Amino acid sequence: MTNWVGRTATEIAAAVREKRATPHEVVAEHLARIELLDARVGAFRRLRAAAALAEADELAARADLAELPLAGVPLAVKDNLAVRGESTRLGSAATPDTPADQDHVTVARLRAAGAVVVGLTNVPELCVFGTTEGVHGTARNPWDTTRTAGGSSGGSAAAVAAGMVPIALGNDGMGSLRIPAANCGLIGLKPGFGTVPAGIGNGDWFGMSENGPLATTVEDARLMFSVLAATEPVHAAEPVERTIAVSVRSPLIGVTISRPYATAARQAAQLLAAAGHQVRRADPPYPLWLGTTSLAHWTAGTAVDAAGLDPRQLTRRTRVHAAVGRRFVGSVRRGARREQLRTRMEPFFTKHDVLLTPALARRAPAAANWHERGWLRNLLANTNYSPLTPPWNLTGWPAMAVPFGTLPSGAPCAVQLVGRPGSEAALLELAGQLEELRPWRRTAPLA
């Protein structure tokens, strides 16, 4: 019998369409892996074993099975997006345990394409932080379980990296897809504003949050992105020569980039230059006020999402974060700083098609009870390891994490690609070249 665990979504869907595998057997094998490993990894808040198998059987009877791009592919969904019949808890004790009466639009699109939702994945409370832990569990990096998977899509990334599912749905408000993707050796694509339906929390963190794919290959990320964006499949194209700026400068004063991540960016730049691209060292014109602006937007988004919840059931770090943010809600909603940042960055991206940076500044914090620690300690831990992702939520432009090399610990390292609006296909193309030139191990070696 063929083992479908560890296969790509593209391979699984082709096998199901061609009747070389049934959705039931594919889903059952992945459920068995989850049962085997998730006590060590902590990816899932809620496993839908019986429901997923029943839905797999229903899928097998669909008349259009042979046409579905994600036929029979097991899917994990971040626990801030509605899944019909399941509660959406956002990593908190303060949220109601009330089943959703319909799927979020992105979940609906993936299901319509043939994907089977096997469970909802762990997140930090209200999806605020770059580590994933709380009352529903701690998501660990399958490559190094002493370290956090990242956040806030930490459970989704851990599930994919551990081979529990081939793809997962997450979202990104200040790096929440790219951070865990970088930690866990995955492709994590944050689409540009309006490309994929958002509908995340109470206003998408003022339009900064985007839904996107987590996958082990560029091909799978490309396939999932086309379903989420409701576009014709984006096929790999012949490489086009592009002008690429490489920068290893931190956007935030006082935060430095560690040697492994800086080296990864430089080596990726060298490979792309050898492949025929015009690569030059150039730093984006990050403004001095970027740090305070990022903090204002980050906290204000939490203030809006926390409104109406019982503060006694929120953790102290979340309460403080929301309290800080309440003073910024008005100014953030007006959007002046975001518009200033876009105006400031546009000339840079007129000269350069793509920006290449390290994905993170240093390895992830330890997997620990960060939700029981103070707000300032969480703030510093998050800021010091992920200063490179927030600018592109503020601009609303596409950005993605791409695995590249390894850290001294043996865990994956990663780079970030950023483009102007509408450049998702170009970013995927460059990521595909990096994948071909420097392949990565797709699944963590968990026994």
pLDDT of residue 294: 98
Phi, psi of 404 (to 5 degrees): -160, 105
300, part of any domain: no
* Cα 75 from Cα 213, distance rounded (Å): 10
Indicate the pLDDT class of residue 237, thresholds 50, 70 and 90: low
311, part of any domain: no
* Number of domains making up the chain: 1
Phi, psi of 272 (to 5 degrees): -70, -35
Indicate the pLDDT class of residue 283, thresholds 50, 70 and 90: very high
Indicate the pLDDT class of residue 404, thresholds 50, 70 and 90: very high
pLDDT over 60 (residue 357): yes
pLDDT per residue over 113-139, tens digit each? Answer: 999 999 999 999 999 999 999 999 999
Here the CATH number for the domain that contains residue 269 is: 3.90.1300.10
The neighbour count for residue 366, using CB atoms within 10 Å, is 13
pLDDT of residue 1: 54
Structure-block tokens of residue 284: 């984006």
Mean pLDDT of 246-257: 96
442, part of any domain: no
pTM here is 0.98
pLDDT of residue 236: 65
Indicate the pLDDT class of residue 239, thresholds 50, 70 and 90: confident
pLDDT over 80 (residue 388): yes
Domain with 126, as residue range(s), is 9-291+316-437
Contacts of 124 (CB under 8 A, 6+ apart): 91, 131, 132, 133, 134, 151, 152, 154, 370, 371
Contacts of 160 (CB under 8 A, 6+ apart): 76, 166, 167, 168, 184, 186, 214, 215, 216
Helix spans in 104-185 (H): 105-112, 154-161, 178-184
444, part of any domain: no
pLDDT of residue 233: 75
pLDDT of residue 88: 98
301, part of any domain: no
* Cα 361 from Cα 383, distance rounded (Å): 9
Omega before 176 cis (within 30°)?
Answer: no
| Percent of the chain at pLDDT exceeding 70 | 99
CA–CA distance from 182 to each of 19, 152, 261, 404 (Å)?
Answer: 35, 12, 10, 9
DSSP 8-state class, residue 71: T
Helix spans in 354-423 (H): 375-385, 391-395
209, part of any domain: yes
State the residue for tokens 């071909």: 436
* Active-site amino acid positions: 78, 152, 176
pLDDT of residue 238: 74
pLDDT per residue over 159-201, tens digit each? Answer: 999 999 999 999 999 999 999 999 999 999 999 999 999 999 9
Dihedral angle of Cα 75, 76, 78, 81, to the nearest 10 degrees: 50
Indicate the pLDDT class of residue 62, thresholds 50, 70 and 90: very high
Q: What does the mean pLDDT of the chain come to?
A: 97
Q: Which element (helix H / strand E) includes 424?
A: helix 424-437
Contacts of 6 (CB under 8 A, 6+ apart): 163, 442, 443
pLDDT of residue 334: 96
Contacts of 194 (CB under 8 A, 6+ apart): none
Contacts of 275 (CB under 8 A, 6+ apart): 239, 433, 437
pLDDT over 90 (residue 140): yes
